[in-house]
Amino acid sequence: MNKHTPEITPDEQADLLEEAAQLGKTWSALGQECDAQNRFPTETVEPYRQSAVLAMAVPKRYGGLGADIHTASRVARVMAKGDPSIALAYNMHQAMVGIFRNSPALDDGVRDSIMTAVARDRRILCGPFSEARAGLSGLADTVAVPDGDGWRITGKKNWSTLVLGSDLIALNATVADPGGSVPDDFREHARREAVFIIPTDSPNLSVDHTWDTMGMRATGSHTLVLDGTPVTREMYGGNFRQGLVGEAEWAAMGFGGVYLGLADKAYEEAREILKAKHLGATMGGQDTDVKQVGYVQYELGRMRTQIEIAERVIDATGQIAIDGRYEEWAAAERKPRWDTVKVVTTETAMSVTDEAFRLVGGSSFRRGHVLERLYRDARAGYLHSFTTNQLYDYFGRYELGLLG
């Protein structure tokens, strides 16, 4: 037994995947509209809340399905085949559930209350940790200033995915001195950086509608503004860097599922267009089928192979989790090793959408074409924390003996 041992049965897993696929299909029609209108689809919140997907990763003792990380990633993939941007929004909830389910930094009482809130009370979580200064890797500028038996939080989180569909917000803030100042020394700053889980309807909390991006527009990742938001001791979730970041696999495998589902969707859309498209009379013949063009055949095969590779990386990593083999990895190398999934799947999504665009041609350059949207959505994959360049850099430094 390890923290990734599945509790879910094969029958429950099959039902879950079917329900996720059905929910994803309802998102398919919404994706284009939400992208064009740059809006988070609030109408998806109640169906998601009532679905088995909501509490899939919550352990059975709390009323969830006890789905393992590999199953959760497969669910993200089928939902992203419906719409990747909406799937990415809800992936934030799943990442938080997975992280809190296992994080040793959390008191058991806090863990119990989060798991119960999700499985019994059907609460949705979001997790805005990044700040404008340096994304997730910058130590929190947001401060928690002691106030009576609790704190008051002040700051801004400018990547608040799913905040418009959430009931609870998990965020990081640096516990300040009573006067509001934070330590100058970065180690002490990191030691003081804590997680808080607060209700979305807390006082002195608002959402500034800043999200207007190139892609993933349905995620509603607006800016959360905290202006002396009161928080109690019961909302304290332990140290941030030693807690949440140590459960990074939940982010990596969730992103992996979403971006592989995006690649699946782009691939299938492109393949069907290429099967049907005729160029008519050309200097090469009376009626030229695009599918008869040699490089179209070759590149389609290459796209398919890239998806196969990414799928195997997800499957193998899911199995490593279930078998507990990650325990053989040194603590300092775990993040980049888990994040191999994020790197491979997001690079696959970027490459497949790029190739689909080249093969399908000019129609996919027009606004409103599904491949135009998927091309833009795929570009966000690089940014998910750590950015892919940061990961390579971290792994390189580790290999050179400069870390760990």
User: Which residues form the interface with ligand FAD (CB under 6 A)?
Assistant: 92, 127-130, 134-137, 159-161, 216, 219, 221, 380, 383-385, 387, 389-390, 393
Nearer to ligand FAD, 76 or 359 (CB): 76
Which two tokens mark 14? 């099959």
CB of 137 to ligand FAD, least distance (A): 4
The single-letter code of the amino acid at 55 is: A
Nearer to ligand FAD, 102 or 219 (CB): 219
Which two tokens mark 352? 């497949």
Nearer to ligand FAD, 62 or 240 (CB): 240
Long-range contacts of 143-146 (CB under 8 A, 24+ apart): 143/173, 143/174, 143/175, 143/176, 143/180, 143/182, 144/173, 144/174, 144/175, 144/176, 144/194, 144/196, 144/231, 145/176, 145/178, 145/180, 146/175, 146/176, 146/178
Nearer to ligand FAD, 20 or 378 (CB): 378
Contact 124, 49 (CB under 8 A): yes
Contacts of 183 (CB under 8 A, 6+ apart): 189, 192
Q: Which residue is nearest to ligand FAD (CB)?
A: 135
In whole angstroms, how far apart are CA 260 and each of 180, 239, 275, 381? 44, 32, 22, 11
Which two tokens mark 163? 């905040």
The residue length of the chain stands at 404
CB of 388 to ligand FAD, least distance (A): 8
Nearer to ligand FAD, 73 or 219 (CB): 219
CB of 128 to ligand FAD, least distance (A): 5
CB of 149 to ligand FAD, least distance (A): 28
CB of 334 to ligand FAD, least distance (A): 17
CB of 274 to ligand FAD, least distance (A): 29
